[in-house]
Each structure stands twice: as structure tokens, then as C-alpha cells.
Structure 1
């Protein structure tokens, strides 16, 4: 009689970090660009329709790159940073720190710095969060709950960028704990394989956005030169 297979270690669902304001602005800008270019192509004369088409071909990928594309995908094993023109994939073992100063940045063990475009830092939001925390400390200086105290958890009282940094650091700590468990041999086979299946850092350029933007720019320059 065979012994039952031990349950696998729980894995944590992937988390996605994106800028809601960036998504809204990107959609609005794309609609505006399409409306202006469409109007010029249908009503323009001479080279105007072609100029509008070239400008749209150049501008649309740039709008997508800087507003809709940025995202950060984090799991219990690795992190994938999708910036405007690059996608960086890193195992947590290569991550040294994640910080949010004037921008959100990730530092690797080798000292390389990557900016997280999907997690913008709002100094105004950070000041509002600091004022809320200050008011709570004034209302409840000894940790007792008063009628005016904010009883939400600590993460709910910080700015969105700082909250994202706390989440990413928590995932990095969990990944480190799993690696340590696997190294000591006290974890299950699934936990050990999840911890040891570390891939090398990789960087991929967004050719699907760079190529049409470059083609549109070249076409626009040629049309202006011959016009």
C-alpha cells in the first residue's frame, strides 16, 4: 500500500500592477488621435491624408507604449516588468530591493536598476496619506481605537506606489522563504522544484511597437521632404 502524496505547498496568485490613470489617458489619447487623423484623411487634399496616416502610424504605438503597455506581473517565483519598450523578466533571487522615491525602481543583485513605469509615484497622494496617518496618530496616540481613528490596515493608509512596493517586497520575502525551505530539504518536492526552477534574467524589446513607430516617422519625414 502506497502512502498518500503529501499536499503541495500553496502558491500565491499572480498580482498585476497597472496605472488606472494611465489606462484612461491612453484610451482618450488614442480616440483623439484616431478622430483627428480620420478627419484629415477623409477631408484633406493632396498629401494631407498621407501625412495624417504617417503621423497616426508614428503616434499610436507611442501612446500605447507609454500608457496602455506598462504593467508589472509578480508571482511567488518571479517578476515581469513591462515597460514602454522593454519587458524584463527576473527571478526573485536576482532582486535586491524595490524602492519608491520620485519613481518606483527595482534593483538587482548586480546593481542594475529598472524603473517600474506601471507604478507611478504621486507626491500629492503621498502627502495626503501622511496627513491621514498623522491625524490617526493624533486621535489615537496610545493605539486605542477612537471614534475618529482610521481602523483600516496599514497598507490602506499609504500611497498607491508605496503600497505596491510593500506588496512586491512581501512576495520577495515569501520567495526567499521557499528557497530556504527547499535548500534545507524540509519542503515538499513541489516546493523544492518551484524554488529551484530559477530562470536567468531576460530582456525583450517591444519590436511590435518600435517598428511601426519608426516606419511612421520615416514615412512622415519622406512626405515632408518631397512635399
Structure 2
């Protein structure tokens, strides 16, 4: 019979592994699905109902177009984990430990800069200048309203004493909404991860780049087949 002193202590459960944050473009996904539906609909219609060389041309066109549409719309994604940033662009996958990331820049496009100086564009986080302008206008209106104080908000949500004012009739609709573009918020999240995890021991290593041959190979095959069919006449 064992005594409590003979029993070995139960090891603590392993710490849960943090999941990567995944960032993708909703508009890109929606546009990609729509384009694929149209391409497949037209392609299969020509493939099964066409005559002469039409089915072969349709097949070659689909082999060329479908991978390219998927590469530029469905494939791009950014995976941000506790130790590394993985950028999946149309034709390659770049893995950067946080210790190798020098900066995350936002201009006309969002990009990550490695300490070696190499820049990689974030296809999954496109810049919307229109969204930035809308957010900037909302931010300016919010700052102006805060500067005016309660008296300046009469007719913009209350009558100074908490009444419904004109805002109850929907006149504040133009002032509501985020004061920062969604893709800029994503970049802020990535910068926070870089700041907190950049010096971690587990976030060090060498960057890796892998080309997406699963996309490039069928696209090249479709292009070659299409060129042969057009050349033969």
C-alpha cells in the first residue's frame, strides 16, 4: 500500500500553444470565388458544347487562368504567430522570425522589411486609400466635437442635457464608423507583435522563402498548351 509520501507529484499540464492570427482580404476572397465561378462556367460550357479546337482551347485556358485567379485572390494570407510571421503571397511563402523583422511599413502598399533589407509585400493586407480618407474624416470630426465640448454637441446627439436631439433622427450616421482603416488596424496588430516578441529567444532564426510551384507549374503548362494550339492553328 502506497502512502502519500511515495506518490510522485503530478507534472503540470503543458502550456497551450497560441494559434496564429490569420489575416486575409474579404474582398479578395469574394472576388476570387466569383471569378472562378465565371471561368469554370464558361470553360466547361465550351469544353462540352464546343466544336473543333474550341474544347482544347477552353481546357488550356482553364489550366492557365484558374491557378492564376486562385493565386491572386484566394491564396494570399498573413499568419502571425508568437514566434514568426508567415506571408503567403501569390507565388511564394515567406517565413520571417520576429527577430529578423526590421519594420512593418504602410504606404501605397503594406510590406514587411527584413533586417537584411529585403522587402516583402503583404498581398493579403491591401491598402485602401478611400478607407483611409473616410477614417481620417471621422477622426477629424470626432476631434472637433471633443474640442467643442458638450455645448458644441447640441444637435449632434443631444441637447446638452441628455435629450435625444437631432441624432435620434439618424443625422449622426455620417459621423459613426471606425476612425482607422481596417488594414491599418491589422498593421498595428502586427507592429504590436513585433514589439513584444522581437527579442524572444524562440523568435530568432533565419528567414525562409518557398516558391509556390503548385501554382506556377499548372499555369506554365496551360500557357504552353495554349501557345501550341494557337501556333498550330
Q: Describe the shift of the 1:42–1:172 C-alpha distance in structure 2 as closer, same or farther (beyond 3 A).
A: same
Aligned length: 206
What is the SS of the residue equivalent to 1:140?
helix
Moved segments of 4+, more than 4 Å: 1-12
Q: Describe the shift of the 1:159–1:143 C-alpha distance in structure 2 as closer, same or farther (beyond 3 A).
A: farther
Question: Based on CA coordinates, which of the two structures has the bigger radius of gyration?
Answer: 2
Q: From 191, 202, 207, give the equivalent of 1:201.
A: 207
Q: Describe the shift of the 1:6–1:142 C-alpha distance in structure 2 as closer, same or farther (beyond 3 A).
A: farther
1:10, CA displacement in angstroms? 7.8
Q: Describe the shift of the 1:4–1:39 C-alpha distance in structure 2 as closer, same or farther (beyond 3 A).
A: closer
Q: Describe the shift of the 1:10–1:130 C-alpha distance in structure 2 as closer, same or farther (beyond 3 A).
A: farther
1:100, CA displacement in angstroms? 1.2
Q: Is the 8 A contact 2:99 2:203 kept in 1?
A: no
Name structure 2 gaps, 5 residues minimum. Answer: 158-171, 173-177
Residue number in structure 2 paired with 1:50: 56
Q: Describe the shift of the 1:63–1:143 C-alpha distance in structure 2 as closer, same or farther (beyond 3 A).
A: farther
Matched, 1:165 2:184: no
Matched, 1:74 2:80: yes
So what's the TM-score if we normalise by structure 1?
Answer: 0.82
Q: Give runs of aligned pairs for residues 149-164 of structure 1, distance below 5 A.
A: 156-164=178-186
| Cα separation, 1, equivalents of 2:78 and 2:54 | 39
1:13, CA displacement in angstroms? 3.5
Q: From 95, 104, 112, give the equivalent of 2:118.
A: 112
1:176, CA displacement in angstroms? 2.9
Q: From 124, 128, 134, give the equivalent of 1:122.
A: 128
Name structure 1 gaps, 5 residues minimum. Answer: 151-155, 180-194
Residue number in structure 1 paired with 2:198: 176
What is the SS of the residue equivalent to 1:157?
coil
| Cα separation, 1, equivalents of 2:97 and 2:230 | 47
Superposition CA RMSD, Å: 2.7
1:157, CA displacement in angstroms? 2.2
What is the SS of the residue equivalent to 2:198?
helix
Q: Is the 8 A contact 1:54 1:220 kept in 2?
A: yes
| Cα separation, 2, equivalents of 1:56 and 1:12 | 40
Q: Is the 8 A contact 1:76 1:174 kept in 2?
A: no
